[in-house]
Structure 1
């Protein structure tokens, strides 16, 4: 579940291994380009963490962030990723 805090939507996902996490990130990159809205993310081994915000709107959460979050979650489900939140 995505959490809104400090003007960001945050979520992390865990995958089977690094290769799967990286494949997921590649798929997210394609969606980000499609939506022209790019996430801050971090990857360590099998974990990918996201922080979404809209800088053009004053660094706040907007519909763009919610739309990207929804697409990211759908991709994560396809990978059977385990959601978490830090």
Structure 2
């Protein structure tokens, strides 16, 4: 059974607890800046591990000292669901440990 889409109001309310995350173009997005390329790579690997644990994957982009995530639930028609917010919350919980700025 696919996850149910969330309303814009519910998404925005839940994003209030996730610093740096925003709703843009029907997706939730966040870009983390880190102190070095190595730190950005380490965060990317940690995010990939979380995505595999949740069996829910984002578009993940590694830059020199940035990591950008953009998330929707493909199985629900590329809309934001609770799965997306759960992934964002897990990522937000580990980001500070990687030295995000």
**Shared fold (TM-score greater than 0.5)?**
yes
Structure 1, unmatched stretches of 5+, are: none
Higher relative contact order (CA 8 A, sep 6+): 1
The answer to whether the Cα contact below 8 Å between 2:39 and 2:99 also exists between their aligned partners in 1 is no
Structure with greater strand share of residues: 1
How big is the alpha-carbon RMSD for the aligned residues of Structure 1 and Structure 2? 0.8
For 1:34, the equivalent position in structure 2 comes to: 53
TM-score after normalising by structure 2: 0.78
The yes-or-no answer on 1:47 pairing with 2:41 is no
Higher CA-based Rg: 2
TM-score after normalising by structure 1: 0.91
For 2:27, the equivalent position in structure 1 comes to: 8
> How many Å separate the matches in 1 of 2:97 and 2:42?
12
The answer to whether the Cα contact below 8 Å between 2:42 and 2:98 also exists between their aligned partners in 1 is no
How many residues get paired? 82
The answer to whether the Cα contact below 8 Å between 2:40 and 2:63 also exists between their aligned partners in 1 is no
> How many Å separate the matches in 1 of 2:90 and 2:72?
15
Runs of 4+ in structure 1 displaced over 3 angstroms?
Answer: none
Structure 2, unmatched stretches of 5+, are: 1-19
> How many Å separate the matches in 2 of 1:18 and 1:78?
15
Q: CA deviation at 1:43?
A: 1.2
